Amino acid sequence: MKSAYQAIMRVLDRPPKAVRGQSLVELTMTMPILLIMLLGLVEVGWLANNYLILIDVSREAGRYGSVRDPNINWIVGDELNYERKDCDSEVGTFNKVDTTVYDYYPGPTLPDLYYGNEGLLDYYDGVACAVLANMAPLEFNDDTDDVVVSVLSYVVVDQGGGPRAVITGRFPPRTNECADDGRDPFAPPFLPAGERDSIGYDDGVEGRRGYFFRGNYVDANGCRGSDFSLPEIENIINRTMLDDTGGVITNTEAESIPNNAVVIVEIHWEHQQLLNLPFFTWIGNPIPLNVWTIFPASAAEPTATPRP
């Protein structure tokens, strides 16, 4: 009887023949999910890598601009010069060089840009070409990508409500204002009329901000060039002017904060997916990446004082 019972238990404990392919079925069901997760990880890693490269490139260009003087190393009005929008004069140093066609012009047709002297690289085209020189292995697409460089000077004043930084100038001066800025950066009361008019004050709205390398980037408000309006930049600067508790600094504390200037480098670049698979393209391909950096530019520090 005992032997019969043991024989029955051996039969019952034996794995049934019907489930011999269970592992294969489970693998078949989970493999697509695991594969999608793996491919997604590759795409995210590719995107993150390119994004980090662009951040490093913008910082390198910002450092380049922070130690140079935009007032000395730039002729006012050359931001409208087509021939100031290339890197031809630095063959062997910068990689954005057209060896077959000497002149390298922006894509959009902008009637108020002119053809002038090229010369050596100066401030704004030098900063832009520093971006292109350090982008490898990424490539700059002439038809979609852009580099924008802006220099802004500011003074610290109390116009009611505590000390705040107020922008008193945006350079280059011939491309410094869009509708959402609300005012010309050279507008009074910080500069006398004669001085502001000689720099670039006008009653019109240019519809563009900063020196742009190609002119491809246009924001939601129709402004070509920089993505940052005057109020946005003032808010960025003023966030650094808080006391240890997060409150507004006092007038006494503000006296130790000097007037200063900053250079902002923006890179607008279209990221192409690596695998371009159908189940990832729903998020868009290419994916626009907009990175920026801000550095002090003490050479452009204003000497203006508030006027009634």
Residue 226 lies in a domain: yes
Position 154: which residue type? Y
Which pLDDT score is estimated for 168? 86
Residue 8 lies in a domain: no
> In terms of DSSP bridges, do strands 224-225 and 208-209 run parallel, antiparallel, or are they unpaired?
parallel
Residue 118 lies in a domain: yes
Which pLDDT score is estimated for 225? 93
Residue 171 lies in a domain: yes
Which pLDDT score is estimated for 95? 45
Which pLDDT score is estimated for 100? 43
Which pLDDT score is estimated for 57? 96
Residue 16 lies in a domain: no
Coil, helix or strand for 102? coil
Q: For residues 87 and 70, give the distance between their C-alpha atoms in angstroms, rounded to a whole number.
A: 18
Q: For residues 265 and 131, give the distance between their C-alpha atoms in angstroms, rounded to a whole number.
A: 9
Q: For residues 38 and 62, give the distance between their C-alpha atoms in angstroms, rounded to a whole number.
A: 36
Parent domain of 64: 42-300
Structure tokens of 272? 């192409």
Residue 210 lies in a domain: yes
pLDDT profile of the chain (308 residues), mean per 10 = 66 61 76 85 92 96 94 89 76 47 60 81 91 88 92 82 81 90 78 60 82 91 93 83 54 62 96 82 85 93 57
Residue 308 lies in a domain: no
Q: How many domains does the chain have?
A: 1
Which pLDDT score is estimated for 247? 55
Structure tokens of 297? 């530019």
Within the chain, strands assigned E span 146-158, 163-171, 176-177, 208-209, 211-212, 224-225, 260-271, 287-296
Which pLDDT score is estimated for 49? 95
